[in-house]
Amino acid sequence: MSTPARITHLVNGASWEGTAERTSPVYNPATGEHTGNLDLASADLVGEVVGIAKSAWQSSWQRSSLTQRAQVLFAFRELLNSRKKDIAAIITSEHGKVLSDAEGEVTRGLEVAEFACGIPHLLKGGFSENVSTKVDVYSIRQPLGVVGVISPFNFPAMVPLWFVPIAIACGNAVIIKPSEKDPSAVNAVAALWKEAGLPDGVLNVVHGDKEAVDALLEHPDVKAISFVGSTPIAQYVYDTGTRAGKRVQALGGAKNHMLVLPDADLDLAADAAVNAGFGSAGERCMAISALVAVEPIADELIAKITDRMGKLVTGDGTRGCDMGPLVTKAHRDKVAGYLDRGVEEGATLVVDGREGDVDADGGGFFLRPTLFDNVKPGMSVYDDEIFGPVLSVVRVRSYDEALALINANQYGNGTAIFTNDGGAARRFQNEVEVGMVGINVPIPVPMAYYSFGGWKASLFGDSHAHGMEGVHFYTRGKVVTSRWLDPSHGGINLGFPQNQ
């Protein structure tokens, strides 16, 4: 076994040279090997980095022209596109997802960079000439200053890319704190920003845990926070950040339901359930974890799903398998713990992911795809966000019962309906209380020019990620009313300004 590598912060365009008081181990989930030691930032270091970001913002990026910003964005887009496979390999080595999935994640992040390349157009304001005699009004949007991004382990490249390109394109300086479980992808992407010509200090990577997050939330010079993670931490970040006077968008956890009506194409639905339930080992915020089958189709659908699950290969993500390991041993054991609990609570364990072989060299954090039937609200396998390869079938008698079930859930991130009835699909998209809806599409992640976000406990704050909501989140609006003096100016008038 090789010695674990040091992984550290990127500050002011260079690797941090200090000595960390605390570190955190990083693993290769497919082998269990301890591959890295991550420096964890102290509150003092976060304070220092905020100062560096603020002065980089004030001295350069705040006043950068739209042309300059667009040029950096285009260069970054090209670099990211050309290094996609390298970034994907880094993701697989620390997260465990299979290489093709890791590359797909980078591609979805790349799309946000492409959207941000259009920043000169996206930041165009309005202009009204002669709103009153010789008076013009126009609107502009200006950057906030230093903004913080705090990201989860499950999309170590894509989630940071939901925010960083737009924040930078809007003229802000950024401090990103990645997940301590798989931190290296963000370091690799940050190096591309430097190569693309972004001035030093405009983007800084600070690694850490609660201490670093709290320091960002409390620092008065951090003007906005974009957070993605589990619901309890999202709620905490939202409450603490807004109390400290910041703009906060905090995206939380999920329990995504896939509703299958009796008229659906059951082969399409079975493919979709397997893809969306077990892709990335179920560690996606848009994974399907509850399959709601409107009777009488449940037995037939379960047979089709079970058949497909039998063909899935679980193993080391570098070997062309379908599904990789879970991110850490602790997470794998937590997810596996739900299998016994589900049985104790009365669910039927149809496929037990603890059984069967994996294509790996041993030592990895594996759990194969698992299927429960006869799951009901009140069981932990239904109520909790398991965040692993566990799919639960809930049998219902009608569309109305299914809708009530989905709407009663505390989460509202994504959902999908499978049907050939356009009227039923249309009714569902209107009535369901969920932020992102798929119609015969199991993982309805919006394109970069739309905005991503859930409802209820899946998002705190009122701004979703990327698209125009991202541009608005990272800018402040200003409206200017202007009159250039000419010889006919109107003299004194103490009345409230009115159009003339």
Query: What does the binding site for ligand NAD look like in residue numbers (CB under 6 A)?
Result: 150-155, 159, 177, 179-180, 209-210, 213, 228-230, 233, 251-254, 285, 385, 387, 413, 454, 458
Query: What torsion do the CA atoms of 146, 45, 237, 379 make, to the nearest 10 degrees?
Result: 140
Measured from the CB atom, is 159 or 161 closer to ligand NAD?
Answer: 159
352, β-bridge pairs = none
| Least Cβ distance, residue 78 to ligand NAD (angstroms) | 27
Report d(CA 372, CA 247) in Å as an integer: 41
Which residue in 8, 189, 212, 6 sits closest to 84, CA to CA? 189
| Least Cβ distance, residue 413 to ligand NAD (angstroms) | 5
Measured from the CB atom, is 64 or 231 closer to ligand NAD?
Answer: 231
15, β-bridge pairs = 10
Q: Which residues contact 78 (CB under 8 A, 6 or more apart)?
A: none
| Least Cβ distance, residue 151 to ligand NAD (angstroms) | 6
Q: Are strands 222-228 and 146-150 parallel, antiparallel or unpaired?
A: parallel
Helices (H), 345-420: 380-383, 399-408
Tokens 């077990």, located at residue: 278
Measured from the CB atom, is 105 or 316 closer to ligand NAD?
Answer: 105
Measured from the CB atom, is 364 or 412 closer to ligand NAD?
Answer: 412
Q: Catalytic residue numbers?
A: 285
Minimal CB distance to ligand NAD: which residue? 229
| Least Cβ distance, residue 378 to ligand NAD (angstroms) | 21
Q: Are strands 370-373 and 348-351 parallel, antiparallel or unpaired?
A: antiparallel
| Least Cβ distance, residue 237 to ligand NAD (angstroms) | 7
| Least Cβ distance, residue 290 to ligand NAD (angstroms) | 14
- The CA distances from residue 157 to 70, 215, 307, in Å, are 21, 23, 33
Measured from the CB atom, is 143 or 160 closer to ligand NAD?
Answer: 160
259, β-bridge pairs = 292, 417
Measured from the CB atom, is 411 or 428 closer to ligand NAD?
Answer: 411
If one counts every other C-beta atom within 10 angstroms of the C-beta of residue 3, the result is 9
- The CA distances from residue 121 to 66, 70, 116, 124, 500, in Å, are 9, 10, 10, 5, 32
SS3 55: helix
Tokens 């003339």, located at residue: 500
